[in-house]
Each structure stands twice: as C-alpha cells, then as structure tokens.
Structure 1
C-alpha cells in the first residue's frame, strides 16, 4: 500500500506529521511521488519475486525509463552528464537541486516491502559501480561507458570481494598484468558475492597491478557478460535472494589499458571513498527494514490473543517492543544528523571528517535491524519461523540480517575502523592545536 501507515514505528517521524528541520516542501513532494512509484513498479510484487528468486528484467527497464535508478548515485548528481543525455529531473525534482535528503528518501522507500533483495537487484551498479567512473574516470573512459550506464542500456556492478578477501580489501589477489604490446591488461582471478554480477555487462573491479598491499591496487572497468575469459555463476544465499549474488572467474581476460580508472596504485583510496556512499545507503535501507519488522510485530501484538488477553496487554511484550523501538528511533535520528552534515559540508571535508562516523552508522544500523527482526520473530512465535502465512515477512527479514551485517565492510571491521578514524582525527587536531599554542 502507498499510504502513510499509522502503526507505531512504521514511519519516520517527519511522515507521521511531527515537526522536522530537515525536510523541505520539495522533499515531501518527492516522497509522495516516490512512494507511489515504488509501490506500483516494485513493492506490491516484492514478496512474490523474492520467493521466485528473480525480479523480472522489465522492472529494471521501467526504473531506468523513469530515471529512478539515478537516485542511487551520490549527491550531488553528475548534472552536466545527465543534461547531455536529456535527463533534467527525477519525478519532478531538478537534477541540479538533488541533495542527500532526496537520496535518503529514495533509499528509505526502496525496501519498504521489508525486503532488501528486490531493490538490491536493481541498484548496485548505479550506487557503487558507476560513481568511481564519474569521479575518477578519464574523459575518454566516461565517453565510452557513461551514456549507456546512466541510461540503463548497459548494467554494471562493483567487484571487490574475493573468496579470500572481503573486508580486507588490501589483500585482494586478482591480478591485472600489462600485455607485451602494452595495449591491454590481462586479468586473472576470482570475485565472489558480487551483487548483480550475473546480469552485468560491465564491472568496476579492484585488481592488483603492483606489489603487495594497498599500494598495489587499482580500479579497472572489466567487461563481464559474454566476454572472452569471463565465467559467471549465480550463488544461492540465505537472504536477499533476488540480488543476483555472483561468483566470477577471470581467465586471461583482455581489458584495454584505457579502462583504468584514475591511475595505477590509486585503487585503495577510490574503494574507501566509494565505501562511504555505499555504507550510508545501506544504513538508510536497513533502518527501513527494521521499521517494517518492528511495526509488523506491533500490529500483530495488537490483535493476537494468548492467555485470554492480547499480546499487547502483556508487560513483557510491551517491554520488548519498547527496547527495540528506542534503538530504531535513535538510529534514524543519527542518520538524519549525518545526512544534514553531508548536505552542509564541502565534499573534501565530509570525506575527511565523516568516514569513520559513516562506518559506525552502517555497523549500528545492522545491529538495530538484528534487534528489531529478532524481536518480531519472537513475538510471532512459530509463525515467525514459517516461510508462509502471517509471519512470512518477519521470517524473511531475519534471513536478510547477515546481508546487512557483512556487505560494505563486516560489522566488527567497521566498528574498529570507526574508532581508528576518530583517533586519527583527534591526533591530527591535537597536533594542530599544539602548533597554534607555540
């Protein structure tokens, strides 16, 4: 349904009519239009497609036709490129007016079915694969690929993770060695757990062009589907089933040297910068999933009777809902604060100041989802572990939880990263203050 829900915890406070300093009239108009679009083109069939394991190809085409995958790009949007391609607005919002609150509204509405898989089947390329080409690609590389990628005529994915290197990006082993003629990189290796890979003509891929560790990493646009030397196999995963998780094998794949993004050895820096946007996007979507889980349980407890009273009449049930609800609303306030900072800080400063906080937000959002999903399943009882009937949604959400806690940097790695980044900032500021006292 496209209406605003009145069930407690089902909607962010600004949609429940509560005052907010963050949202303009333009934001609110976009939210209404976005909700209608999402329901008609994705959400009303999301559970059916998740059970089938695949979102039909026409859904991707419909989203592209209405420019509704462009919101997955980081704000501000690549206005010059979009206007060159005849794209001037997204559901009435001028592309030059786009900010991170529009992005957050979109990311909040996309998984409103409670499932991340259906939306994830569409957006990984736009969200994480295309941005490095926009930010760091040469003019020639952009001309070669952006017209097709930004309009959806070609699909893209981000290919970082390998069987033996996930969050430990610096130790990836896929190699890209220049050919004797110097015109090609010869790519060999494996990529695993690559969202959308099975449908993608192209990938933004982390490869090793130099020695060990981070200094040896580069980013390369590598052709995939149907390309010589590339073999892809779809992987069966427990949650986010429709996301197209893929294993990629690369056997002497010839890639033109002009497909290098930026310069050799700059890959680690670009990957880490790209992660900030990925982690923020995941955080917003995961928090919506938590809303769906908790509000679904809340509605169930209002009507389900046990021991001659509704579950909501049981103090222990109210206590469990309250604890999860406090975590949820705290998380959303955290995200709104972070979004406001992104909208009001220069890009270079926000990358410097907010990288650790963004990692913390991503880790915390997954913890909140776990709390809300566990709460919902426990309150549904046996129905909450059954893949059909009234508890099927919370059962599916709980299976999605690992897909929130691992991608974009696993939870423990991000918690550690956030504190290391904060210590680094502290030491730098303390050093600067020390100098100013001399």
Structure 2
C-alpha cells in the first residue's frame, strides 16, 4: 500500500507499473531529487520572497553538469565530450533519452513556485538549441564551450511589446553596414526571461523588408556591457525571481559572423525548438499542479471544520476528485508525447507533434488553474490568500497561474495552432493518399 499523499507523485514513483521507465531513469530520478533539494528546492521559497536567486546557484548547476539536461535529446555528444563532459550524475551522455529530460524538468518543479527553477534554466534551455542545430562551425567553436560549461549565460529574445505569440510580427531590425561586416540592431524585446543576467541573446530580428515570417532571421546578440544595449528588470505578478527583462537596442553593432544559419530562415529555426519548449513547460506546469493538489489533499485531512476534517465533506472530496482526474489524464498524455518524441526523427516530430505539444502546453495551464485556484486556494480558504504561514505556497502559486497560461505561446493561440496544424497534416496526408 502507498504511504504517499495522493497525487503527490507521478504514478510510476508511487510503485505503480509503467513500461516507460528503465533502471537508468530510476537512478536518474534519485540523483535529480537529491541534487535539487540541496541546491534549489530547500531555499526556493526564500529566494522567491527576495525576488532573486544568488548567481552561485547557476555556478553550482554548471559545475555538476546539471544545466545540460535542459537541452533536447539526443544530447550534443560530440560537443559535450569536446568540453570534457562524459556523464551527468549516474547517466552517460550517450544514454540520455527524452524521459531523462522529462524527469529532470519534473523534479526541478517540485518546489511549486516557478521563479527559482526558471532563473537557473530557462535561458540555457531555449537559447542554446538554435545555435547547436543551425549555427555554422566557426560560431559554435567561438560560443558553445563557454555556454555549455556555464561560464557565460544566454537567453532567447523573441517577444516584443507588439509581438508576443505572433512571432511573424517581430519588428526589431538588423541592417547590414555598407562594408557588410556588421548588423546594426534597433528595437526592443520585452518579457525576456533571464535577460538581465545574460551575456548573449539568441534573438529574432528582421533582416529584410519582406513581410511576415519571410523577413525574419536569428542573430546572436551580445547583451551585458555591450554598447547600445540597455536592460532593466520588469516587475511581474509572478515568477519575480526569474529575471524578466526589458531590453532596448539602440544601434547595437553585431558581427555578421553572429548570424545563426541563413537570413530569412528565422521562423523555421525557432519553430523547430517549439516542441521542446512547450513540452518541457507542460511537464513543469503539471508538476506544480501536482504540488498544489497534494498540498490541498494533505491540508483537508488535518484542517477541521464543523467538528470533522474537511475531507469528510463530500463537496471537498468532489473538488479534489475533479482536479485529480484532469491532472492524471493530462500527465498520462504528456508521458505519451515524451515517449513519442523520443522514438521519432526530429523532422517527423516537428511536423506531427507540433500541434499536439502546443495543445498539451495549453491544457497544462488549464489544469494548473484548476488545481491551484479552483481547488487548493478555495480549500485553504483565508490561508490560501495569505502570503505567510501554512497557505503561503498556495497563495504564491495562485499568482503564477497566468505565467503558465501566457508565456511560451498564450493559451488561445496554442489551442488555435493545434487545430490548424492537425487540419494541415490531415489535408497533406489525404493529398498524398490520392496520388497512390
């Protein structure tokens, strides 16, 4: 029989059979839990209250090679060995699959609040893959060793004041100088996670007057201390410790060698990272939903009202049941997506899973809202609205629900994207079948 508080752990960690996890995954999970509890989770609430995470936390992650699992699999084995990384904890880098990544993301989110984990991992997770996949050898040689070893920090900079989920509307310009040696970058980027600490940004810019996505490129732009770059932290209602940044770019000179890939292909490059981005977001968000729901379950067992524990009331059990069913259903779906993405070629997964990972990202935010606001906060009552004492975690989590439903592709955009992608794939398949 299980002694785990209901919903506190994924089913496979509550000793229920699963075909998805090997002995390697189990060893990795134990390693992640021990490392995160020591280096992040035990202090996460304190750092979240302060609105900042000490820089030495990032350094500790780097020393232990625990930044590397933020990258999609297969890991860049050649590059990792080149910088001296052969294994991460008990797992050789060649043996990493997407389940290892999913376990990492889930264990990282167990503190419940999103700010501290995001402060350490978000820039690395989303800023490096375009360089790995599309930058030329010279740019990789120049930048990757420092990034992979954590000596330099990076972020991804796409969103602008007037271009969020509508990436094709990006207006920041990068115009070549007459001698063709530099780009001059002008514009602004908003809501950039980790920007304030970053030495570089993998930045979406407009390199031609072609409308929409056709004019977009990706450029590695120097940030901290670079002439023409000004950055300021933004006050946000949740995830305050993640370093949300407003970046202004005023005639910023960037060598043309910093172009990632070729001009005009920026949208393509960014889209190929969306599966990884949205799936890892969904895993973290659902883990936070699990934290909220299990915390509420525990609270209802000890909090008494009308002469009995809250859990004795049918209406309380009903609320826990509805949230729990949605949580476990969505978790099982995400586990399936993780398995599928690990068994498919990247090209096939980008096409066939693009809509589904967007849908999973949207659904995870909906589930978080149900578990945190519609269940945990209501069951905690006044305690769940007070940022101190036994309800502090739930109160803080409630402030962060919007941060799960908007960044990484806002919910309504993701829902629409999913259907458009599925419809497009169906049309393409029907057209191919008609030619047979």
Range into which the TM-score falls when normalised by the shorter chain: over 0.9
Partner of 1:105: 103
Distance apart, 1:432 and its partner CA: 1.3
1:126 pairs with 116, 124, 127, which one?
124
User: Which structure 2 residues correspond to residues 38-437 of structure 1 after superposition, within 5 A?
Assistant: 38-211=36-209, 212-374=211-373, 375-436=375-436
Residue 125 (structure 1) shift: 2.0
**Residues 1:29 and 2:27 aligned together:** yes
Q: Specify the SS of the correspondent of 2:43.
A: helix
d(CA) in 1 for partners of 2:151 and 2:237? 30
Are residues 79 and 5 of structure 1, via their aligned partners in 2, closer, same or farther at CA, if it must alter by over 3 Å? farther
Query: Structure 1 residues 234, 377: closer, same or farther in 2, change over 3 A?
Result: same
SS in 2 for 1:219: strand
Secondary structure of the residue aligned to 2:247 is: strand
| CA shift digits 1:32-86 (9 cap, x unpaired) | 1110000000000000000000010110000000000110001110000000101
TM-score (norm 2): 0.99
Q: Is the 8 A contact 1:218 1:266 kept in 2?
A: yes
- In the superposition, the TM-score normalised over structure 1's length comes to 0.98
SS of the counterpart of 2:6?
coil
> For the residues of structure 2 that align with 1:137 and 1:430, how far apart are their CA atoms?
36
What is the root-mean-square deviation in Å for CA atoms of aligned residues? Answer: 0.8
Q: Quick one: distance in 2 between partners of 1:45 and 1:5?
A: 26
Alpha-carbon distance between aligned partners in 2 of 1:5 and 1:332, rounded to the nearest angstrom: 21
Q: Distance in 2 between matches of 1:53 and 1:174?
A: 29
Moved runs in structure 1, 4+ residues, more than 6 A? none
CA contact 1:5–1:11 (8 Å) conserved in 2: no
**Cα distance, 1:321 vs structure 2:** 0.2
**Matches of 2:73 and 2:407, distance apart in 1:** 21
d(CA) in 2 for partners of 1:312, 1:348: 49
| Secondary structure of the corresponding residue to residue 255 of structure 1 | strand
**CA distance in structure 2 between the aligned counterparts of 1:107 and 1:234, rounded to whole angstroms:** 25
Count matched residues: 433
Q: Is this contact kept in 2: 1:221–1:259, CA < 8 A? A: yes
**Cα distance in 2, alignment partners of residues 32 and 286 from structure 1:** 21
Deviation at residue 5 of structure 1 after TM alignment: 7.3
Matches of 2:226 and 2:273, distance apart in 1: 26
3-state SS of paired residue (1:112)? helix
Render the CA deviation track for 1:91-139: whole Å, top value 9, x for unaligned: 1210011110000000000010101110000111221000000000000
Bigger CA drift: 156-165 or 341-350? 341-350
